[in-house]
Amino acid sequence: MTDQALPSVQAKTLKLSTSVRSAIQAFGIGFVFLAISIFFSLSSEFFLSWNNVSNVLRQSSINGILAVGVTFVILTGGIDLSVGSVMALVGVVAGSMLTLASPYPMPLGIGVGLAVGCFCGLVSGALVAYLRLPSFVATLGMLSMARGLTLIYTDGRPIPNLLPDFKWLGAGNVAGIPVPALILLAVFVIAWVTLKHTTFGRYVYAVGGNERAAKASGVSTRSVITMSYVVSGVLAGLGGLLLTARTTAALPQAGVGYELDAIAAVVIGGTSLSGGRGTLVGSLFGALIIGTLNNGMDLLGISSNYQQFLKGAIIIAAVIVDRSRK
């Protein structure tokens, strides 16, 4: 081989290596999900039954909706710890309006619930964007306030006897597919288009990549950050509605720990905690992985304590991988 041919070979090798690395980053999370599914299908004869697959989709859909909202926040370089408590607050407010004893029109109850979630996100976003509070502190405070309001509103008691049409949102099926899964699909498509093909989506990535540079370029960074938390709050509200409909009662203790699963799904999906890099596809697969792990370990009789430990270990491993990539 001549000396002149060496640079060409090296360039081709580098290009191939880059392509392989890009493919692994793009599809690696899908391979992980496939590997986990194969493992559990070989470990339990019930895993691939349609009833179980439907159950996984139903369980994962709520976390997937939360993960979509949290992705917006993390892309801006923040974090949202309040989604679990916002879910509970929205669930009891909407549930109190959609009982057999005092039914309001279902669109009104759902609309009021989503408005509550929107307001919670707006407050968190304003605290972060305008008062410059660390997102950890602002959303931790919202976590406590929303949970407190939930307990005050219900006096610590569940709200039963929900309308059958409302319960269908959480427990119903369309052509054999769980309704929450179809709602997640619609949310994902809208959010994906927003991030990929709108000015707001480009600004979200810009703010997370370098807030000062984005501001210097004329981006209203405060508005972008605030709106990202509003998106998270609205989707937390939607998740709360589906969880309430699925459990057939509005429970004041609902949503505990859901923020951990949502953040885990986003981080596992490859979204950087420092902001500016990540995809909704990764977050979706992250939610499916969390749901599959929970379901598979339940089928194998593994204690919930070990499941919590495993999820925490996965989050740490995902962050380590992210830092090593950077």
Render each residue's pLDDT in the chain as its tens digit; 326 residues.
Answer: 555 555 554 555 545 454 445 445 546 788 888 989 999 999 988 999 999 999 999 999 999 999 999 999 999 999 999 999 999 999 999 999 999 888 899 999 999 999 999 999 999 999 999 999 999 999 999 999 999 999 999 999 999 999 999 999 999 999 989 999 999 999 999 999 999 999 999 999 999 999 999 999 999 999 999 999 999 999 999 999 999 999 989 999 999 989 989 999 999 898 988 899 999 999 999 999 999 999 999 999 888 888 888 878 877 877 777 666 65
User: Hey, which residues does 174 pair with through a beta bridge?
Assistant: 177
Distance between CA atoms of residues 48 and 29, nearest Å: 20
Q: In this structure, is residue 202 part of a structural domain?
A: yes
Distance between CA atoms of residues 82 and 7, nearest Å: 54
Distance between CA atoms of residues 265 and 28, nearest Å: 14
Q: For the chain, how many structural domains are there in total?
A: 1
Q: In this structure, is residue 9 part of a structural domain?
A: no
- Give the start-end residues of each E strand in the chain: 173-174, 177-178
Query: Could you give the 3-state DSSP secondary structure of residue 99?
Result: strand
For the domain that residue 250 is a member of, what is the CATH number? 1.10.3470
Q: In this structure, is residue 148 part of a structural domain?
A: yes
Q: In this structure, is residue 38 part of a structural domain?
A: no
Q: Is 314 buried (19+), middle (13-18) or exposed (0-12) by CB count in 10 A?
A: middle
Q: Select from 226, 223, 243 the least CA-distant residue to 86.
A: 243
Half-sphere exposure of 77 (CA within 13 A, CB side): 20
Question: Tokens 């370089």 appear where?
Answer: 77
Q: What angle do CA 192, 256, 61 make, to 5 degrees?
A: 30
Q: In this structure, is residue 25 part of a structural domain?
A: no
Q: In this structure, is residue 231 part of a structural domain?
A: yes
pTM of the model: 0.89
Interaxial angle between packed helices 179-197 and 50-75, expressed in degrees from 0 to 180 and rounded to the nearest 10: 30
Q: In this structure, is residue 10 part of a structural domain?
A: no
Distance between CA atoms of residues 18 and 324, nearest Å: 16
Range of the domain at 253: 43-325
Q: In this structure, is residue 36 part of a structural domain?
A: no
